Chain A
Amino acid sequence: MSSLMRRQPTFGCFLLLFVLLGAASLLLGSDQAAAQSTPPTAGPLSPLHPTFTMLDAEGRNVLDSGAPVSTMRTCGSCHDAAFIADHSFHADLGLRSMTAPGQTASGRPWDTSDGMFGKWDPLTYRYLTPAGDERLDLSTAEWLMLLGGRIAGGGPTVTSRTGDPLTSLPLDPASPETSIRTADGEIAAWDWQQSGVMEMDCFLCHLDQPDHAARTAALASGEFGWANTATLAATGIVTHTAAGWQWNAAAFGDDGALLPAYVRVQDPTNANCAQCHGLVHTDIATPLTIAGCDTANPQTATTGQVISGQKIAQSGVNVAGKASLNRAWDIHAERQLSCTDCHYALNNPAHVQESDATRPSHLVYDPRRLDIGEYLERPDHNFARGQSAQYTIAPELKGTMRRCESCHNTDSHSAWLPYVDRHMQVLSCESCHTPQMYAPAIESVDWTVLDADGGSVVNCRGADGPDAGVDTLIEPWTPTLMMRGDIDGGQQLAPYNLISAWYWVYDDANGATRPVPLADLQAAWFEGDAYAPELLALFDADGDGELSSTELRLDSDAKTAAVAAQLAAQGLNNPRVEGEVQPYSINHGVARGEFATRDCQTCHHDNAALHQPMQLASFLPGGVVPAFVNDANIVTSGDIQVGDDGTLHFQPAPEQAGVYIFGRNRVEWVDWLGLGVFLAVLASVTLHAVLRFIAALRRPRHTPELKRVYMYDAYERFWHWLQTVAIILLLFTGLVIHRPDMLGMFNFRYIVWVHNMLALIVLINAAMSLFYHLTSGAIQQFIPRPYGFFDQAILQTKFYLYGIFKGESHPLEKTRRQKLNPLQQVTYFGLLNVLLPLQIITGGLMWGVQQWPVAAGLLGGLPVLAPVHTLVAWLFAAFIVAHVYLTTTGPTVLTDIKAMVTGWEDVEVHAHAEHA
């Protein structure tokens, strides 16, 4: 027994623990029998549910027959039990969709369905052997014994893979459906008629005190037919004695029906669901405790989600910084929602709503629905479900659940969140509302090595390991955001935990790839109770004769080869390491308001939390870089990378999925080009200025004849300076938005708002000045006249290149009616006809990305608009440098600037003007 126990994986240990507990409870059974003969609490739970007769599979009263209860017969005497079992993915578990190995969406060569029955899970490792395989890992019977704690009954526990009753199958030890691997490794036939089958267990979910442990123990011991009866162990209706399960006559009335006090039927509560799914804690008075990433609570162990209304600060969990966590583990649990409020029966008339797709557009609400009686007779036990990455069963039901926004109004964000609609397009609600996880979750599972108990090496996020005690310090961890591909084709960033797994596979006699059966893996690693000496010598770095978790690392070719050799010695062909990464969706553990992400720079920043890599493993077992599984609902939005230190990370890169995040994403060459132009202009004018200065020193002061001209009227000056100030502020605020990492002292959100407001002012100012120029005719000044244009342009260029250094006068006269020289004309022509409109259009569409996403999309969306906007901004900045410098080329350095202030300019008197 001890050697068997040592050879079992972690899950097997739990299993055996259950068996032992079950055995212990049997020994104590006679004492408990007396105590349990009265119901735990008085009175029926449901005022409506009548008493009923407990029937066995033959339809006889169990009091008379002493046989196990048949739920199909008992509950089926009123409810349409066959309908229920037929409409339940909890019962089916993938049986209906079973295919030949390797045909499923997961892409694993050995998977035969998309449900628990046939889909391999590296966390539990053992796999359901398909018919015709070389080696038997799990037969149907052992699958049920091993995983019984999570199986609701019906489906594959009643029906064979070909659709026949299991009890009708011939006793064929060669078939994985009617065989079992005995303790000594032999394959024997399994007699379903003798063991019984497990019908769908109504009691498990519909009683207030189902005895999950007794039921699991019955399954583990192969008493499948008694499992549903064992679920009643805590009700007082049945007791376990040395002779087996005995019906308690005191619980039944003279008519043979249950006494009303024993009818403890109810709608499923969170506690019912928790038996198989995850950590649920309903009693706020008792502090919740968590011990490591315990796989007994699969949902919590894989995601860190805890369903409890208890405040984290008041729980018994040793979370770092918990004093400030005055929030519930899950806001919906705190608000008294139960699992079934969202995951309701799909034909529940209280919840059912026709989808927009099939509902005629003229109808808002269709009042025709099942009446309560019809529903109670045939309640659909397919439950509304979300977009989970990990549960792939019944994909046709994905997205049937109401979404956050079906109940919540996202407008409530508008008081503080800019671009609400845009954020809602790109982000799932969970992205901000599950910012941190406070329970440990599995990070990696390494089956390439085996620990001393014959199980895998598991690493957890947030805690030291799966076996950490309740006092272990838990560091909150941040889920990574990946692009989720919804069932309706939509895409949103959503939080995930990523679990990496490594394991050995081999090519079997049929040439098919299979994971190495645990028995073979254990035979390779162990000789008797001890590690195989070859492996021990290789792995035992400190030579203490034991392999610690730090030594159990397949981190060299020699080790890989040694284990492979051991496996080959078991007759396994071509043993090799494979790895995979399974994303686990995080949808529960929701926080409200102040505990949700509210800081813009969580995303809009170079070093934002959004972009932090998530560690997948501290090293690469067997040197194998794993890949994402094929059937998760993710769209490529990051890379799996091996760091310089050998660690494996997922590096988020939402831009791979077409997301452009201001303050985070930028096109490097645009910035370099823009900066280059800007610096080139700056350098040119600086050089020019220096040369002018030197030239001026060398020659006598030239005093041209000047006359005072009223050059700019008040409105022209006003719009010029308004535009000046607004554009400079726009450039500055734009820079803050572009590089918040360099200018982190500014509030991102307000800067965005100021930028938009300034843009509106510039737009209005430009429009008004255009109106002015059009109506006053001043617009003509900006239009280059073809006649003599090039001559004059050449003259002006030569002046700037030579004449200005020789003290020559400006070649062209500046008058009130002709303020601009040809170079200015052509510059402004480009500025006002190309750059400004381009900036207005790109900026407007970026602002309007949530108002008119289609329009923005036509131009390539943010990934195109934003870089163009950035480049034009650089050109504007360069223009300003040149523009300001050229104003200093008048008779004195400040003449032109003064003119734009006062309107009066001292202009050189030109000879031809005097003649005129």
Chain B
Amino acid sequence: MNQSRYIWVLGVIAVALVIAVPMVIFWPRVAQTSDNPWTGVPKHPAHTDHKDIIKGPFTTGQEVTQACLECHEEADDQIMHTVHWTWQSDPVAIPGHDNVVEGIGKMNLINNFCIAATSNERTCMTCHAGYGWEETPYDFENNLNVDCLACHADTALYAKGEYGNPAEGVDLTAAAQSVRNPGCDNCGKCHFDGGGGNNVKHGDLDESLLFPSDSLDVHMGGHGFVCTDCHRTEDHAISGRMLSVSVDNENQIACTDCHQPDLHEDERINAHVATVACQSCHIPAIATKNPTKVTWDWSTAGQDRPEDHYTYLKIKGDFLYEKDVQPEYLWYDGAVAYRYLMGDPVNLEGPTLLNPPGGDIKNPDARIWPFKIHRAKQPYDTVYNYLLPPTTSGAGGFWTTFDWPSALKMGAEANGLEFSGEYGFTETWMYWPTTHMVQPKENALQCESCHGDNGVMDWQALGYPGDPIKWGGRNAAK
């Protein structure tokens, strides 16, 4: 009798199971993506206030670095392994070149703006994460030259000046006491103002991101992101790279680091993801707040014409700023198709493409990306047929003498090039993939934007026979 006293418990369980188990097994499940993009966003630990830890006084940046290293013993070594310090990559194979190159980067590449850093150390090194890069080669082994303050000090209290040294008049003690996690102002000092002014280079990175509105950038404005939320950092190595100086598809940041690629409710839009980069639709325009430089003609520099900040300067020549720039859409697989290296021949038939993106319609890894293409005219040696980096700032530079031959001679020597004495100007294009200032779905491109009568895509240039809405996508014919 006793053993059966609680037998009803078994009965209750049995009845409950018989009813509940089929319910649970067959419960109608609506397919739900497990996409919670916030899981991809790092948590930043509160930073220790250094006001009472740092005593000072300091008279040089190196003294500050010394003080930092007393506690952060590995920080110098970590920094010295990053491109913020080395300004060049590990040895790398570059499309269009036979041999593996020793290492490329800001130190030795030609760009489409102020052309080259080497021989222009006084100004360019303002953005090097170290002190005292007065001439190239630079002593990369001196750990005391690591500039901790550039990224960690309050930008209201610290600024860099010539050759990367602290600007004159900076109170280094106050600056050192202000250190904290890097903010967008630290990153922006160089990345917003590259090329000599706000938003000159990128088009999608400018000072408006310091106080971004919802409509400017959905992440930074809408959700209060800072740069390091996406550019996740470990041991001072900051993730992410840019086609302007990096040639391979490594260490990239992708929307899909946080978002599911097929998160669109609409199957038709999800079908685009294999072909179209998120950025193409979600960044419908470049330079929506501040204008960006789209052309730069060095050949007219040095003339005594009326100057205007937005069209002509004697030291720089003619240039054009534009706002709300419609991107140009190109296949891009994350790497370059070619990278112009110092001494490479220029294209005499047309523009020389410094860093054309890799990928085409046949490359399944390539997707259609939005680009800002910056078009410039810069000096080249008409005898040797290569681009010539001029010395611009500093003594004897073009900005002082307005004399091309001497400035080109100085620049060529510093960069190890022969200069024949004969020079001309040739058109060069530089490609800037657009990836910031992301817009939510409400403002994204719509079907009509690409597939309408005056769509933004040049289908035939992209390799399609016509609008894929009628002619079929690149996978349709398979």
Is the beta-carbon distance between A284 and B446 smaller than 8 angstroms?
yes
Is the beta-carbon distance between A725 and B15 smaller than 8 angstroms?
yes
Partner of A326, one of B19, B30, B441: B441
Q: A629 to B452, alpha carbons, bound, how many Å?
A: 41
- A377: interface (CB < 8 Å): no
Q: A594 to B452, alpha carbons, bound, how many Å?
A: 24
Is the beta-carbon distance between B447 and A901 smaller than 8 angstroms?
no
Is the beta-carbon distance between B31 and A415 smaller than 8 angstroms?
yes
- A313: interface (CB < 8 Å): yes
Is the beta-carbon distance between B11 and A334 smaller than 8 angstroms?
no
Spot the interface stretch: A478-486, A751-759, A769-777: A751-759
- B22: interface (CB < 8 Å): yes
Residue of A nearest to B441 (CB): A326
Is the beta-carbon distance between A415 and B30 smaller than 8 angstroms?
yes
Q: A88 to B205, alpha carbons, bound, how many Å?
A: 58
Is the beta-carbon distance between A902 and B8 smaller than 8 angstroms?
yes
Partner of B448, one of A309, A717, A726: A309
Q: A594 to B16, alpha carbons, bound, how many Å?
A: 37
Residue of A nearest to B453 (CB): A282
Q: A760 to B446, alpha carbons, bound, how many Å?
A: 47
Contact A721 B11, CB 8 Å, known A592-B266, A726-B19: yes
Q: A757 to B1, alpha carbons, bound, how many Å?
A: 36
* B-contact bits for A277-301, CB 8 A (1 contact / 0 none): 0000010100000000000000000
Distance in angstroms from A911 CB to nearest chain B CB is 27
Partner of A758, one of B19, B28, B446, B447: B19
Partner of A722, one of B19, B26, B441: B19
Contact residues of A between 369 and 426, Cβ < 8 Å to B? 415-416, 418
Is the beta-carbon distance between A334 and B19 smaller than 8 angstroms?
no
* B-contact bits for A353-381, CB 8 A (1 contact / 0 none): 00000000000000000000000000000
Q: A326 to B14, alpha carbons, bound, how many Å?
A: 50
Contact residues of B between 20 and 44, Cβ < 8 Å to A? 22-23, 26-28, 30-31
Distance in angstroms from B338 CB to nearest chain A CB is 35
- B5: interface (CB < 8 Å): yes
Is the beta-carbon distance between A722 and B15 smaller than 8 angstroms?
yes
Chain B residues within an 8 Å CB radius of A726: 19
- B251: interface (CB < 8 Å): no
Q: A902 to B5, alpha carbons, bound, how many Å?
A: 7
- B265: interface (CB < 8 Å): yes
- A576: interface (CB < 8 Å): no
- A335: interface (CB < 8 Å): yes
Contact A757 B23, CB 8 Å, known A313-B442, A901-B11, A902-B4: yes
- B7: interface (CB < 8 Å): yes
- A593: interface (CB < 8 Å): yes
- B449: interface (CB < 8 Å): yes
* B-contact bits for A315-347, CB 8 A (1 contact / 0 none): 000000000001010000011100000000000
Is the beta-carbon distance between A757 and B22 smaller than 8 angstroms?
yes
Is the beta-carbon distance between A722 and B18 smaller than 8 angstroms?
yes
Chain A residues within an 8 Å CB radius of B7: 714, 902-903
Is the beta-carbon distance between A718 and B446 smaller than 8 angstroms?
no
Is the beta-carbon distance between B268 and A335 smaller than 8 angstroms?
yes
Q: A714 to B23, alpha carbons, bound, how many Å?
A: 24
* B-contact bits for A725-742, CB 8 A (1 contact / 0 none): 110010000000000000
- A761: interface (CB < 8 Å): yes
- B231: interface (CB < 8 Å): no
Q: A592 to B442, alpha carbons, bound, how many Å?
A: 15
Contact A718 B23, CB 8 Å, known A311-B442, A416-B30: no
Distance in angstroms from B241 CB to nearest chain A CB is 34
- B156: interface (CB < 8 Å): no
Is the beta-carbon distance between A334 and B4 smaller than 8 angstroms?
no
- B476: interface (CB < 8 Å): no
Name B's interface SS: helix
Q: How many residues of A contact B (CB 8 A)?
A: 37
Is the beta-carbon distance between A334 and B23 smaller than 8 angstroms?
no
Q: A326 to B448, alpha carbons, bound, how many Å?
A: 15
- B451: interface (CB < 8 Å): yes
Is the beta-carbon distance between B447 and A335 smaller than 8 angstroms?
yes
Chain A residues within an 8 Å CB radius of B14: 718, 722
Residue of A nearest to B446 (CB): A284
Chain A residues within an 8 Å CB radius of B268: 335
Distance in angstroms from A592 CB to nearest chain B CB is 7
Partner of A593, one of B18, B22, B26, B266: B266
Contact residues of B between 460 and 478, Cβ < 8 Å to A? 469
Q: A757 to B27, alpha carbons, bound, how many Å?
A: 9
Chain B residues within an 8 Å CB radius of A328: 446
Chain B residues within an 8 Å CB radius of A758: 19
Contact residues of B between 257 and 284, Cβ < 8 Å to A? 265-266, 268
Contact A761 B451, CB 8 Å, known A336-B469, A415-B30, A901-B11: no
* A-contact bits for B1-13, CB 8 A (1 contact / 0 none): 1001101100110
Partner of A757, one of B26, B265, B452, B469: B26
Residue of A nearest to B1 (CB): A904
Chain A residues within an 8 Å CB radius of B18: 722, 761, 765
Chain A residues within an 8 Å CB radius of B19: 722, 725-726, 729, 758, 761
Distance in angstroms from A736 CB to nearest chain B CB is 16
Chain B residues within an 8 Å CB radius of A721: 11-12, 15
Contact A718 B442, CB 8 Å, known A415-B30, A415-B31, A757-B26: no
Chain A residues within an 8 Å CB radius of B446: 284, 309, 311, 328, 334
Q: A415 to B30, alpha carbons, bound, how many Å?
A: 6
Distance in angstroms from B28 CB to nearest chain A CB is 6
Is the beta-carbon distance between A284 and B449 smaller than 8 angstroms?
yes
Is the beta-carbon distance between B31 and A284 smaller than 8 angstroms?
no
Chain A residues within an 8 Å CB radius of B453: 282
Distance in angstroms from B372 CB to nearest chain A CB is 21
Chain A residues within an 8 Å CB radius of B451: 336
Residue of B nearest to A323 (CB): B442
Q: A334 to B451, alpha carbons, bound, how many Å?
A: 10
Most chain A beta-carbon neighbours within 10 Å: one of B5, B27, B446, B448: B448
Residue of B nearest to A592 (CB): B266
Q: A728 to B350, alpha carbons, bound, how many Å?
A: 83
Contact A334 B8, CB 8 Å, known A326-B442, A415-B31, A722-B18: no
Chain B residues within an 8 Å CB radius of A313: 442
Contact residues of A between 887 and 912, Cβ < 8 Å to B? 901-904
Chain B residues within an 8 Å CB radius of A904: 1, 4
Distance in angstroms from A430 CB to nearest chain B CB is 19
Q: A282 to B453, alpha carbons, bound, how many Å?
A: 9
Q: A750 to B265, alpha carbons, bound, how many Å?
A: 22
Residue of A nearest to B440 (CB): A326
Contact A754 B448, CB 8 Å, known A415-B31, A718-B14, A903-B4: no
Q: A400 to B451, alpha carbons, bound, how many Å?
A: 28
Partner of B15, one of A336, A718, A754: A718
Chain A residues within an 8 Å CB radius of B449: 284
Chain B residues within an 8 Å CB radius of A718: 11, 14-15
Q: A684 to B7, alpha carbons, bound, how many Å?
A: 34
Chain A residues within an 8 Å CB radius of B265: 593-594
Is the beta-carbon distance between A753 and B448 smaller than 8 angstroms?
no
* B-contact bits for A195-224, CB 8 A (1 contact / 0 none): 000000000000000000000000000000
Q: What are 24 A-B interface contacts by the 8 Å CB criterion?
A: A282-B452, A284-B452, A311-B442, A313-B442, A314-B442, A328-B446, A335-B268, A335-B447, A336-B448, A415-B31, A593-B265, A593-B266, A714-B7, A718-B11, A721-B12, A725-B19, A726-B19, A729-B19, A753-B27, A761-B18, A901-B8, A902-B4, A902-B7, A903-B4
Which 9 A-B pairs give the minimum distances between C-beta atoms?
A901-B8, A284-B448, A336-B451, A722-B15, A309-B448, A326-B442, A721-B15, A416-B30, A334-B447
- A→B interface (CB under 8 Å): 282, 284, 309, 311, 313-314, 326, 328, 334-336, 415-416, 418, 592-594, 714, 717-718, 721-722, 725-726, 729, 750, 753-754, 757-758, 760-761, 765, 901-904
Given A721-B15, A761-B22, 7 further pairs, Cβ under 8 A: A335-B268, A336-B452, A415-B31, A726-B19, A754-B23, A757-B23, A765-B18
